[in-house]
Amino acid sequence: MTNPWLEIPLSDYESHMALPKIAQAEMLASQFSDALPRFAPESVAVIGCAGGNGLDKIPGSVKRVVGVDINPDYIASAFFRYLGRIPGLEFHVADIQSDPLPFAPVDLIYAALVFEYVSLPASLSNLSRVCRLGGRLVSVLQQPSAHVHEVSPSPYTSVQAFVPLMRLIPPTELVECAKSACERRRQAAKTGATGGRDKVNSRVNSRVNSRVNS
């Protein structure tokens, strides 16, 4: 079965997210921008980077930037938009649930409106391998709302394709699952499975906006 995220054109996704009644593109970029000075990372991975929304917010103090997305067309667009504009920039096409993540661990992982569409245990286990010791996972989670649809109607009907994948994640579930992934990495490091290098991320910052609607 083809992942629906491989079938949604980037132009549709970005136009949908930028609609005034949705305004998610600006919000997600703002959340990312707020996290960078707060944690002052030297390296960052943006999971589900799509066409690169928010990458222009990265300050010069960040020396390495990694963009990851499952859709190769999204990555190609982000590559052409930002290559040469941001030092230390690299992109990877990967399914964070199952694919090896072929980049060195980073100080901060930003995953906004991503975990709603993947297996949480598998994804966090995989991401823990590319988060440095003492690093941070910053996530934006969509929460239930009595006033908005989980996926807002819009002229860009292709985005409705991801509705069957969507599951809203309680923040407590994310935190507990992240702790479990960290503990497994610690145990693997102790037994030498990681060559003696503990790359565990033990700190999770889950930013929740109950008004978020896709």
Give the pLDDT score at 145: 67
Q: Examine residue 214 and state whether it is found in any structural domain, yes or no.
A: no
In the chain, the DSSP E strands lie at: 43-47, 64-69, 89-93, 106-112, 131-142, 203-209
Q: What is the CATH number of the domain that holds 187?
A: 3.40.50.150
**By mean pLDDT, which of 41-45, 56-60, 150-154 is the weakest?**
150-154
Q: Examine residue 113 and state whether it is found in any structural domain, yes or no.
A: yes
Q: How far apart are the first and last CA of the chain?
A: 23
What pTM was computed for the model? 0.87
Q: Examine residue 143 and state whether it is found in any structural domain, yes or no.
A: yes
Domain containing 17: what range?
Answer: 4-209
Average pLDDT over residues 180-199: 68
Q: What is the dihedral of CA 118, 121, 127, 129, to 10 degrees?
A: -150
Give the pLDDT score at 205: 55
Average pLDDT over residues 129-139: 92
pLDDT in tens, 54-79: 999 999 999 999 999 999 999 999 99
Can you tell me whether residue 109 is helix, strand or coil? strand
Number of independent structural domains in the chain: 1
pLDDT in tens, 95-109: 999 999 999 999 999
